[in-house]
Structures are given as C-alpha cells and as structure tokens.
Amino acid sequence: MYGLTLGIVTNTQDPDNLGRIKVKLPLRDEAENESAWARMIVPFAGNEMGVYFIPDVGDEVIVAFLGGQLEKPVIVGGVWSKSVKPPMANEEGKNLTKMIKTKSGHELTFFDEEDKGKITLKSSKGYTIEMDDENEKLTLKDPKGKNKVEMSSKDGKITVEAEKKIELKSGGSSIIIDGTGNKITIKSNTVEIKGLQVNVKGDTTVKLESGATMEIKAGAISQIKGNPVAIN
C-alpha cells in the first residue's frame, strides 16, 4: 500500500530507544491492528542529535508505508481533530502567532509581526522569559510578576525587582538589598567607595565605627561641624 492512513498511537516505549512508536491501524484485522514499530519523520535527525518530539498514546497521526509494505510504517506527522484540538486558535486569520506547547503546559510562542516581534518562553507554572522587539527589552519574571529582571535597550538600563530581597554574591563578598527590613548590607574583607564627590547623609543618624583603627584624612581643609561637637 503506497497511500496514507490515519493511526492512533498505542505505544511509545521503543525497546531499542530509536524514537519509534506503535499505532492502531484501522485497515488491519482487529486481532492484529497494531502496527510494527514505526519510525518518525522529523525535520532533522542525526547521530545523537536532532529534533525530538514523540506523540503521546492516544494522539492521531498520519502513517505511510515504505515500499507499500505494512511491516515498514513511518509516521508522517500528527493531526488535530474535533476531539484533539490545537493549543491556540487563528481567530483573526492573520497567522502571526506560532507556538510549541507540551502536554504539561510549557510554551514557546513566536509573535511574528514585522517590527513588533516577540518570543516568549513560559513554564507550566508561569515562569517567563520574554524577548520584545517592539519595546526593545528582555524580561525575566515569576508567575506573580513581583520578582523580575528587565533589560531595556531603548532606555539603556537593567532593572532588578524583588518582592522581598535581592542578593549579589561573589566568593565571600555580598551585597544584600532587603526590602522587608528596608536595609542594604555590603559585606567583604575590603570595601572601597571612590568618586570625584562622595556624599554620605543620614536624616537622623550617621555612624562610623571600627573595631580597631579609623583614619579620616583630607588633602586640603578638614571641617567638622555640629551643634554641639563632642570629641571623646
């Protein structure tokens, strides 16, 4: 038989791990209507590389037969139906959105309008990476949107937001921005702050404390002002 036929996937556990499946063939006798192991036609296949998408048991596929032999089936691809619907609808008929979606809900979506393109990678729980050409930005965010990193080429800035705390660590050094305690902590063996002009200001208190030696030095005039000034 050289034509194509519909098949229903019955087995995906290939004993030889070759990515093959078995399908139920309506054209065979009921007693032996399951096919031999059928190879998948994929966009790219090589030695331990390629595109790996295996249909699930119960999915509907199109089956062809090499040389017209029923014992040499190959799977041309999957098809949707009224009972097995696609993951999205082309309601406006513009066909601008493409998608890959797994059964657990992981999604890779391409919005393909010129100059407004967008690629979104989203996990089943809502963790998202979004590349937005229209707004010239890359966004990484959690399901609630309260923790995110945004890189904007248009504004030339990177924004990091956290609901509670941001921690930057390298070896034994760290910078912790604590939103719950409204506090910033910098920790390292040596901390250097340099600038043409450095201002340290506290609305109520500024405290400088050393466990050993403290040195305050100026290349020109040093001024200490207060009302009063207490040195002890």
pLDDT at 25: 86
Give which of 24, 11, 87 is closest to 55, Cα–Cα: 11
pLDDT at 168: 96
- How many Cα atoms within 13 Å fall on the side-chain side of residue 88? 18
Q: Cα 106 to chain center, whole Å? A: 9
pLDDT at 29: 60
pLDDT at 224: 86
Sign of CA dihedral 54, 59, 61, 65: positive
Binning pLDDT at 50, 70 and 90, where does residue 30 land?
low
Q: How many other CB atoms are found less than 10 A from the CB of residue 22?
A: 19
Binning pLDDT at 50, 70 and 90, where does residue 229 land?
confident
pLDDT at 225: 86
Contact of 41 with 55, CB cutoff 8 Å: no
Q: Cα 93 to chain center, whole Å? A: 28
What is the rounded distance in angstroms from the CA atom of residue 111 to the CA atom of residue 118?
5
Mean pLDDT of 44-48: 95
Residue 154 has pLDDT above 90, yes or no: yes
Please, what is the average pLDDT of the chain? 92
Which ranges constitute the DSSP H helices of the chain?
A: none
Mean pLDDT of 12-19: 96
pLDDT in tens, 73-93: 999 999 998 888 999 998 888
Q: At 111, phi and psi to the nearest 5?
A: -100, 115
CATH class of 4-78: mainly beta
Q: What percent of the chain has pLDDT over 90?
A: 72
Q: At 26, phi and psi to the nearest 5?
A: -65, -15
Residue 232 has pLDDT above 80, yes or no: no
Residue 50 has pLDDT above 70, yes or no: yes
pLDDT at 165: 96
If you count DSSP H runs as helices and E runs as strands, how many of each does the chain have, helices first? Answer: 0, 17
Spell out the residues 6+ positions from residue 33 whose beta carbon is closer than 8 angstroms to its own.
Answer: 24, 25, 26
pLDDT at 27: 66
Spell out the residues 6+ positions from residue 56 whose beta carbon is closer than 8 angstroms to its own.
Answer: 9, 12, 103
Binning pLDDT at 50, 70 and 90, where does residue 187 land?
very high
Binning pLDDT at 50, 70 and 90, where does residue 228 land?
confident
Q: How many other CB atoms are found less than 10 A from the CB of residue 128?
A: 16
